Amino acid sequence: MAEFFKMPQASPTMESGTLNAWRKAEGDALASQDVVAEVETDKAAMDVEVFEAGFLLKILAQAGEDVPAGRPIAIIGKSKDEDISALLAEFAAMKGGAVPAAAQAAPAAAQAAPAAAPVVVAEQPPKATANPGVVPPAAPAPATVSTPGGYVGPTWRGKPLHHGLEEIGGSFTPAKTRRAVRSSPLARKIAEDLGVPLDRVAGSGPNGRVLRADVEAAAQAPAPQAAQAAAPARANELVRNSKMRKVIASRLKESYLDAPTFFLTANFDCDALVAFRTTLNQQASAKGVKVSFNDLTLLAVARALAEVPECNAAWGDESITRFGSVDLGVAVALEDGLITPIIRGADKLSLLQLAAQTRSLVERARARKLQPEEYTGATFSVSNLGMMGIEHFTAILNPPAAGILAVGALQQEPVVKDGALTVGWRMRVTMTCDHRVIDGALGARFLAALRQLIERPLLLVV
């Protein structure tokens, strides 16, 4: 019996999906686990499979169309000649009472004129200057206060208050402001006669005082052709919010408003970490392996969470969940948002295993090839902007986790060692804590465990 094939909900945050492409055509036979379409979710592009053999009888959504999760995108049946008129009528009711052209046969219309091509709205539309169909919102007109019957507004002792505004033609417009200018009385008189604004004259006298010669020179100078030299103004550009950006906005707003957060910042001595990485990469270069400072930091965070499991937790109305596995989320920047692939059981991995997994996850995240289980369910997260030169920042919690660590730049700074001023490698980290789960003392205990691992990196390989 024919039935609807619906847009799958690939993740808890997915509200809709965009059909990137159909891999099968109408009338094609389908085998179990055949890929019929590619769908872009809020986080990644994924292949959609069928679980039973049959035939793709009708395509109800075209490539490029955004479809809510759970809505039909096709009709699949057991044989090629099944009657699907009832399903088409049901689908028409869902769409508002009319069967769309893509979902019904219309031979008469097809003979009269070819069907119009579906309109595909790109996630990043072209600039407004190149797309006359996109009309940016008009800029608001400047506000004026009309006074046809006299002044209407605040007064002081019976007199109107203009608040730095001058009355022009029955309305109020902002008065032009002029800076105070040091000038001689003769220079002011000549400037008035010649119509030269004093605040545009460079003074050559003591303390920048404008003299007569300065005014005369300014009067003889040719007027600047500002209108001709100015570059044409850029038009407003409307950039449609992608599904990823909408989900980020929704979830982080919820996190920001719901969780009572506070921040703990620590400054780590990284001299030993820099020397350790240099030695490690010299020995591992023959194997084609390279370990980054981010890899070392991630492993240190995972091991610190294993030592202080109370921070590897999430809030619930009835109870706090302390996770048995350290599933570490790693924030990865994409062109239109952010995704957090997860290193499962990160505290149990060796340094080289963690480095390899991190590299693979980041590459697939940037290619939008992650599966939903690879970016949902982090128990703690790390966001590292140090490689972009950011010294210090704070991060918003990634629900349901109760903590996230913001890692700043590793850089050389003047430091005091043994009473003497010298130069050392330092790195600042800031932990965002959900106070319902992690209080100040607990957060400080986690950062102390992390400090020991960062400042004594040999502990990471024992």
Q: Are 271 and 407 in contact (CB under 8 A)?
A: no
Cα dihedral value 194, 195, 201, 206, nearest 10: 60
Q: Token pair 């902002």 is at which residue?
A: 174
Backbone region of residue 169 per phi and psi (left: phi > 0; alpha: psi in -120 to 50; beta: other values): left
Q: Which residues are catalytic?
A: 435
Q: Token pair 């850029």 is at which residue?
A: 234
Concatenating the DSSP letter of every residue in 69-89 gives TTSEEEEEESSTT---HHHHH
Q: Which of 358, 310, 304 is nearest to 330 (CA)?
A: 358
Q: Are strands 328-330 and 380-384 parallel, antiparallel or unpaired?
A: parallel
Concatenating the DSSP letter of every residue in 306-359 gives HHSGGGSEE--SS--EE-SS--EEE-EEETTEEE--EETTGGGS-HHHHHHHHH
For 105-189, where are the E strands, in sequence order? Answer: 155-156, 159-160, 165-168, 171-174
Backbone region of residue 153 per phi and psi (left: phi > 0; alpha: psi in -120 to 50; beta: other values): left
